[in-house]
Amino acid sequence: MKTNPNTKTEITFDDFKAEVLNDYKLAVTSRECSLLGRREVLTGKAKFGIFGDGKEIPQIAWAKAFENGDFRSGYYRDQTFMMAIGELTIEQFFAGLYANTDLKEEPMSAGRQMGGHFATHSLDENGNWKNLTEQKNSSSDISPTAGQMPRLLGLAQASKIYRQVEGIDATNFSKSGNEIAWGTIGNASTSEGLFFETINAAGVLQVPMVISIWDDNYGISVHARHQTTKENISEILKGFQRNENEKGYEIFRVNGWNYPELMDTYQRAAKVSRKEHIPVMIHVQELTQPQGHSTSGSHERYKNQERLAWEAEYDCNVQMRQWIIANNIATDEELTALEREIKKAVREGKKAAWSAFINPIYAESKEVLGLLDQLASTSSNGVFIKKLKNDLEAIDEPLRRDLLSAARKALRYVVAESSPAKTNLQNWINNYINSVQQKYSSHLHSESKLNALNQSEILPTYDANAEEVDGRVVLRENFDAIFSNYPEALIFGEDAGYIGDVNQGLEGLQEKHGELRVSDTGIREATILGQGIGMAMRGLRPIAEIQYLDYIMYALQIMSDDLATLHYRTKGRQKAPLIVRTRGHRLEGIWHSGSQMGGVINLIRGIHVLVPRNMTKAAGFYNTLLDSDEPALVVECLNGYRLKEKLPNNIGKFKTPIGVVETIREGEDITLVSYGSTLRLVEQAAKELQEVGIDAEIIDVQSLLPFDLNHDIVKSIAKTNRVMVIDEDVKGGASAYILDQILNEQNAFEYLDSQPKTLAAKPHRPAYGTDGDYFSKPSVEDIFEAIYDVMHELSPADYPKLR
């Protein structure tokens, strides 16, 4: 069903006719899928529907310009395009609507995303890269409007890197940087800041990116007059148009119902972007949305009769049909016959998809019904179990939830009984949960041999007379080794290039490795993240630097919605092993000493969160991550760059393990758990506590996500019988998370003789200045007194009350 553009310079009328009719067949097929899909939602077989009707013809024109190796970064209207490139069948369309968890039936996300969210497979079943230059690629969609834009920038920048940086093995990823990154967005979503940030950044970077704006004049129910100045996005962006003296965009406008003009426009856009490596914008105007935004409402509620009549006349499929007849390509009768065939094919595809979805559940239902029957026949509460069985049997189209719910409720009636039937049901429930849960919970992290947790620790080694240097020098030398050993590695961020970052951890590296590998960016955190995501998806190893942890908030939505979910939402068929580098914790003032780790760790599950206490540990994390295939956030200690550390002699080779804590002081009385900059205060407090007879053990968490995989903290608590978590995040933040892990995952309560404690910062952000820090975050005295109070409760005679 995909488009097969004829590349011959001259074609016969018969060839032309065949191609046009194939395009029309594809457009009608996609439309019928939308129409029937809506009915499936309204009848209850599917939960929600959001479709690409009204955008069929421009997407077919786009598909003809899309080549192997190219990437799409779009949104949930691009079903016709996916059909046109051969990556979405009728059956797969409906499998997505039904949330089929079989990746073979529903290759977009295995039912993890609602229909309309598309992807191709960049990885094989073992997590290894496929040859992306031999296939047409689509990065996995997300629902947040404009959220696809930052990633689009990175997908396009990868082509620039592959074309201009020597020494990279591009075998599976690029052919001389010839690939275009194609983006799509609705006209209303161009109101989002992420759109403008990306448009500006792509214009600055001059990358091969073509963005299509589908303009149907509405954003759900809200008219363009409430969305866009002048009600015309290309009009207000025309200042981005390039000219003889200034770089910028090539901007096209085309009506979305005009088949021949669309074909010409997309061919011209592709040619200029691919050859000249520049960004292009195509404003596709006068589109329609025949069924409204989604199945949650009807567009008749907000469009007047005049608009509805116009949409009926200028529907792109209707206009193409008229054009075909007017140009004697086919008659009305021929097209009517073709349309009947298409309707039948779509109905049959829908039925096949539903059978593929429901038949495995029918088989599972039959099995559990038999087990319930057996249980009822042997139980004194058989009448109640029989009712559960009958209720389940009465469900015409059961879900797995229905099966499991009935089985688990049945166990309540035999809780005091013992029988083979009960044992069989228990076994079935346990096995079923283990089997089905994986359909929804697997692949949050890489399951390949390159999983970060498979990387072994390599300790730093030192010469006998090892030089003590500023911590930043350890980082600088390690980054130098990284860029020498990994041609595909690059780093970018605000002030990261020319001056070597604000703390000089990249000093001199731009001059040595070039402006494309160690580069400055504008002040635009979200698209810095997007650059990293897109380039990582195309086989590069980017390090995206966010200058301060406080400013990662600008990029947190992209980290949370896109990067953290990518591997999960594709069930392991796409990855972006991006390293996000930042610095945080104690320095000065509200926006340069934040420690909002509680929010971060709860929003970016799927990304490793690493909190090294010094720069040697940080360097080891970078080395570990570059030998793995997973994304991570590394938070360096902002006040540690000028502190002295010994310079290892195995720079670039030592590795800090992920998910492993380190005991940095042995003790007998209490276990103190902390990380990052706060550890130095904890160590000082421990020395002072020793003077009053309190022997504290100190554990450096090192890694918040994942957390203490070996459960070494509970081993310490088994010895000391007391624990305190000290953290500079606010109460209920990271300290609460850590304590939850210790108590509920490691079952430390078994060993506690005293109440577990947390010591955190005040509920406000840290005030400016040394005193501001002292009265905002835990001080040495705060730590000393909190621990002393624990020991006072244990033995008031030995530890009289301080105050």
Contact present, 119 and 138 (Cβ < 8 Å): yes
Provide CB contacts within 8 A for 202, sequence distance 6+: 153, 156, 209, 249, 279
Q: What is the dihedral of CA 265, 267, 269, 273, to 10 degrees?
A: 180
**Which one of the listed residues 567, 592, 608, 764 is annotated catalytic?**
592
- Whether the upstream peptide bond of residue 360 has omega within 30° of 0, thus cis, is no
Contact present, 74 and 17 (Cβ < 8 Å): no
For residue 109, what are its two tokens?
A: 């996300």
DSSP result, 101-147: --TTT-TTTTTSS-TT-----SB-TTSPBP-GGGS-EEPPP-SSTTT
Residue of 470, 632, 475, 635 lying closest to 548 (CA atoms): 635
Residue 458 DSSP symbol: B
Contact present, 95 and 11 (Cβ < 8 Å): no
Measured between alpha carbons, how far is 693 from 669 in angstroms, rounded to an integer?
A: 9
Q: Distance from CA of residue 182 to its chain's centroid?
A: 19
Respond yes or no: is residue 223 known to be catalytic. Answer: no
Q: Distance from CA of residue 624 to its chain's centroid?
A: 21
H/E run at residue 69 = none
Q: Distance from CA of residue 8 to its chain's centroid?
A: 41
- What SS3 class is residue 467? coil
H/E run at residue 484 = helix 471-485
Provide CB contacts within 8 A for 750, sequence distance 6+: none
Inter-axis angle of helices 90-98 and 332-378, to 10 degrees?
40
- Catalytic residue ranges: 592
